[in-house]
Chains A and B, each alone.
Chain A
Amino acid sequence: MAPAITLILGGSLLLAASLVLKSGKARDVHGQRNGMAVASLVLLLVAAILGWIRVVPDDLGQGLFRFDAAALASERLALLGGLILILMSWSTAPRAHLGEYYGCLIIMIGAVPVVGASNDLVSLFLGLELISIPTYIMLGIVKNDNAGAEATIKYFLLSAFASSFFLLGVSYLYGFVGSTNLQVIQNNFATANRLTSLALVLVMCGLAFRVTAVPFHFYAPDVFEGTSLTMAGIMSYLPKVAGFVALIRIMGTGLNSQTLEIVVPVLFVCSALTMFVGNFFASAQNNLRRLLAYSSVAHTGYLMLAMTALLRENADPNVLYSYLAAYAAMTLGFFACLGEIEAAGGKTQLVGDLSGMFYRRPAASIGMTVCLISMIGLPLTAGFWAKFLVFMGTVAAGTKDPLSIAMAVVMAFNAVIAAGYYWRVLSKLFETSDAFVPLRVFRPSLFVAYTICVVLTLVWFFVPAVM
């Protein structure tokens, strides 16, 4: 747990630092900004080193936490996302609340491995709330206007609503087994009945909020629109990783066929709805933020399809993790590019605002192009393998279950719709006109952030094994 502890403790220290930071006129804004970002990066580095040198024992035990593949993968994903997010925050963090901002961000990053390593419903819920609560704070501080306040309240209310479902499901699980230990619960799945399925479905519903699955996706477009770009990046990535890792944690192993017969169709319907809603709504959008929110919803749909393949043991959990990694690179990369354009004085609210951006801001536009191609899922990018592996996993069940072939068709259909609206954004970038003013302000941190994303997106295509 050393990396998670480091991050959470470090995050708390940064929070505390906001008390002693000078405010008012004598305040050295730039120094504080750089200091905070560097401190965060150092924390991340320490956590990464601690994770690197850790020796995982052979016997993983039955305790509160367990270091299996899911834990290690979630830690890796959190650190990867954390690196990019901190770089993105460097120049976009709200100056009035630097300590709070970085503290919350680091705690969120640290909470993902907590969820990933949890072997108990209580610690799992703790980890999930460690992500939710800082999110409320951050949503409140990054944008002090009406839209920001509305987004915060909306997110808070709906989040509480979803958490209640999660807890309801958890209480059923506890009632069924008499223990909150996940291994004990999973050992009892063999004798599961209809009530267990209901419990699992309720748990899924609670997590569906974190991963923005239909019908819990409603907050996403409103919140994305009402908050800053970096915050939108954070919200589209960290809760999603945590949610899926938690799903794998709770029901990744040991489901009997009777339970699968109920859970898998629910996931199928949910995934199909998520894909369709995400893609249909996104293709109707001219507002770039909302488009990205719906695109994030659509990606959740693909991930849920991967989840069904995983439940039926047609796919490795790695399929899910590599999809999340590719997703991190392409989505956060795209947000970083947008952030740079915004920092340089461009507008990024509507799709039309990007018109001719290639001639105004070539580097960021090339970055966006790569990320968009990856989101479409075309070759030469990581997104291709991500989608392809999910697709293969879904088709693999096809010999026994015609429904999963139908789902594969739905996914292919949705990929085409998605290509339509991503391409619309892409073609905007390269529109020509004489009246373009170049954007010249340079933000090294954002540049580094999206360069990392673009390079990873391209490299992962050629070496998918390390994804």
Chain B
Amino acid sequence: MLSLFAWMVPIAPLAGCIICTVMAFRGDRKIAHLPAIISLLFSALFTICLVAFGAQGDSGATFQGYRYLNVGGLTLDISLKVDTLCLSLLTVVTCISAMIAVYSKDYMHDDPGFARYYAVFCGFVFSMTMLVLSHNLLMLYAFWEGVGTCSYLLIGFWFRKPSAARAATKAFLVNRIADCFFLFGILLLAYAVGQTEIGASNGFFARLNFDTIFKAVPFIVRDHSELLTTIGFLLMIGAIGKSAQFPFHVWLPDAMEGPTPVSALIHAATMVTSGVYLMARLSPLLEFTPAVLSTVAWLGGITAFIAAWMALFQDDLKRVLAYSTVSQLGYLFMALGAGAIKELMVVAVVAAMFHLITHAFFKALLFLAAGNVMHAMGDVIDMRRFGGLRKVLPKTNILFLIGAAALAGLFPLAGFFSKDGILAVLADASKDGEYGTQFSILLAIGFVTALMTAVYTSRAYFTTFLGTEKLPEEAGHHAHEATNVMLVPMVVLAVGATLAGLLLGPTGAIAKYLEQTPALMSHGEHHEQYWVMVLSGILAVVGIGIGYALSKVEPSTATSSAWAAFADFGRNRLYIDWLYNAAFVVPLEWFARILGWFDANIIDSLAMQIASVPRLFGLMGQRVQNGRVPGYSFITAVGIAAVAVWIATR
């Protein structure tokens, strides 16, 4: 029964994807949302069933699927691994995607690519659920690429717009670079597992089953501990690429070229968190590689800070949210990095997963609210061009306020508890002897970032919804509140953003639930630290005050030159994109031009010559095929005679 539920979770969206693809080919524009929404609701329902029934039974089952391939010593078994770690993310993915699919129905209703949108949307949910449920690292990698492809297709959804096409390519290429390292890491891991007595008996694919990996890890530590660190670094690069961490963060803000619901689902709530999920999933391996985890913590800290910095000076509402996503993901990685101290590994994973869940709710909510604004403003999203929308969009105003307050970390909304959880883990880590100093610095960064988060969030809110009413001309006369179809899913998300923190965090529910995962069994001591909670609460309030003040100030009237430089850096994304362009893109383009010439003039002409050979042979041989039966039978007889002679001489 559970096996059926588990299999239905990915199969339902797959069915939706196939139906919508057919509809897309038929040019359907009206009913493509029905199969998509129904299949996604089913998927969510089955996930909830899994959570409900799985809680009583064993919670670490692997459900056999089918044997995809068995050839030449390579056996591919497609199975699903269900435990509480994956169920927690699975619930988020399926529920939020169902909500956003409902929302998209009205958001996308005028688009000619309506069916195509839903086809890729379902394809994404299929890939994502399979990614989460994979029992094998290589299978996870396959669906890792699957979500990447869907993300590419959706960022470039309006592919006739050059900026969208460019953003899609950028996202794809940046991810490819990271994925390349990820693949090397996987292959190296397969090699390392094969060297141990556990893995030697398994085929190449079976070696990469998570269970086999975890069993083999102690042996790898014993025999090749440096190799394990290398593997850890390679896998980490894959994770930070998908999760848009420094230095791979450049693709995510550009990804906002896609439709807003897609930004909400893929580039805020689900896909970008799969890097965090990967690290959490591999935590039994990573706890032996503290060097990797402390690097992760630093990268997360740097990303959290610089992304918040950039978010402060963006004028595009969606970009503020995008940078905020990058920054919050940095938080998650900071928390995971605290696992460098072995006793804190489980606590770190729990804190990261907790913030992941709450963040998914409130960030999806914020993006959808931004989508409402964009919808009403005639696709204008520049905050300088509108303002005081609380009258025009009264309901969106409230929903955005809830999301923003949750993001800023106001008590008692979800963000407060989960952010506090991360800061508390960092505070715990700072007491450690070996890594204490570095985590003290990271804790400080965490607090500063928390303050900045509150500042940019409240600035965005106050500029958009408070103040004097200002509408761009693109809005025309139809600046209206969103339809109920769009508002209802947002209300659901708002309830989640409000209550998820309170229900899951202080009660310890999420910690207890996640620790049922076999890989996360070892209990770490976690100390409540009230000063962290109080401090972060105060910082949120202070930040909101600053944000209110900033929203009143015209950006051009900066006072001191230091502040101007700070603002200038933030506005220009710290010149990182510019640097990448100058250092990598332009030289590579020149290199590609040289190769292109070589290909067109030398390889191509050679290939054309070779390609004409078969045709030549064929034309030569056509004489034999003259349509005359005696000729045919003569050749046949000669052939048989030759064989007979050959046999006789043996």
Contact = CB atoms under 8 A, between A and B. Distances in A.
Interface of A: 153-154, 157-158, 161-162, 165, 194, 197-198, 201-202, 205, 214-216, 218-219, 221-222, 261-262, 266, 276-277, 279-285, 366, 388-389, 392, 395-396, 417, 420, 462-465
A465 B66 contact: yes
A216 B615 contact: no
B618 A158 contact: no
B478 interface: no
Q: How large is the interface on B (under 10, 10 to 19, 20 to 34, 35 or more residues)?
A: 20 to 34
A307 B625 CA distance: 27
B622 A161 contact: no
A144 to B, nearest CB: 20
B611 A201 contact: no
A262 B639 contact: no
Contact of B71 (A153, A197, A280, A392): A392
A309 to B, nearest CB: 12
11 contacts: A158-B629, A158-B633, A201-B644, A202-B640, A218-B632, A281-B621, A284-B618, A284-B619, A389-B71, A417-B614, A464-B68
Contacts of A261: 650
B629 A154 contact: yes
A262 B650 contact: yes
> What 9 A-B pairs come out closest when comparing CB atoms?
A284-B618, A218-B632, A215-B639, A280-B618, A280-B617, A283-B614, A417-B614, A281-B618, A284-B619
Contacts of B629: 153-154, 157-158
Contacts of B615: 280, 283-284
B72 A279 contact: no
A392 B73 CA distance: 11
B527 interface: no
Given A280-B614, A282-B618, A284-B619, A161 B627 contact: no
Contacts of B611: 420
B647 interface: yes
Contacts of B648: 194
B160 interface: no
Interface string B634-650: 01101110011011101
The B contact surface, by secondary structure, is helix
Contacts, number: 85
B650 A194 contact: yes
B487 to A, nearest CB: 39
A388 B70 CA distance: 12
Contact of B69 (A153, A417, A464): A464
Contacts of A214: 639
Interface in B297-315: none
A440 to B, nearest CB: 16
B67 interface: yes
A219 to B, nearest CB: 7
A283 B618 CA distance: 7
A462 B72 CA distance: 18
The A contact surface, by secondary structure, is helix
A420 B617 CA distance: 14
A405 to B, nearest CB: 14
B66 A281 contact: no
Contacts of A279: 614
A285 B625 CA distance: 12
Identify the interface centre among A261, A283, A285, A462: most chain B CB within 10 Å of its CB.
A283
Given A281-B621, A392-B72, A465-B67, A198 B647 contact: yes
Nearest to A205: B640
Nearest to B627: A222
A261 B650 CA distance: 10
Nearest to B624: A218
Nearest to B612: A283
A392 B69 CA distance: 13
A284 B622 contact: yes
Nearest to B622: A284
Contacts of A396: 72
A296 B403 CA distance: 64
A197 B647 contact: yes
Nearest to A395: B72
A157 B69 CA distance: 45
A121 to B, nearest CB: 20
Contacts of A205: 640, 643
Given A215-B639, A284-B618, 12 more contacts: A153-B629, A194-B647, A194-B648, A215-B638, A216-B636, A218-B625, A218-B632, A279-B614, A280-B615, A282-B618, A366-B25, A417-B614
B632 A158 contact: yes
A282 B647 CA distance: 31
Nearest to A154: B629
Contacts of B644: 198, 201
A420 B71 contact: no
Contacts of B25: 366
A240 to B, nearest CB: 18
B635 A215 contact: yes
A218 B650 contact: no
Nearest to A153: B629
Nearest to A261: B650
A280 B611 CA distance: 11
Contact of B614 (A157, A202, A395, A420): A420
A218 B627 CA distance: 8
Contacts of A281: 618, 621-622, 625
A216 B634 CA distance: 11
A216 B616 CA distance: 22
A161 B633 contact: yes
B47 to A, nearest CB: 23
B618 to A, nearest CB: 3
Interface string B9-47: 000000000000000010000000000000000000000
B633 A266 contact: no
B625 A221 contact: yes
Contacts of A389: 71
A219 B614 contact: no
Contacts of A465: 66-68
A209 B67 CA distance: 37
A420 B636 CA distance: 29
B246 to A, nearest CB: 36
Nearest to A463: B66
Identify the interface centre among B611, B616, B647: most chain A CB within 10 Å of its CB.
B647
A366 B25 CA distance: 10
A28 to B, nearest CB: 35
Interface in B69-103: 69, 71-72
Nearest to B649: A194
B618 A285 contact: yes
A396 B72 CA distance: 8
Given A201-B643, A464-B69, A277 B614 contact: no
Nearest to B633: A161
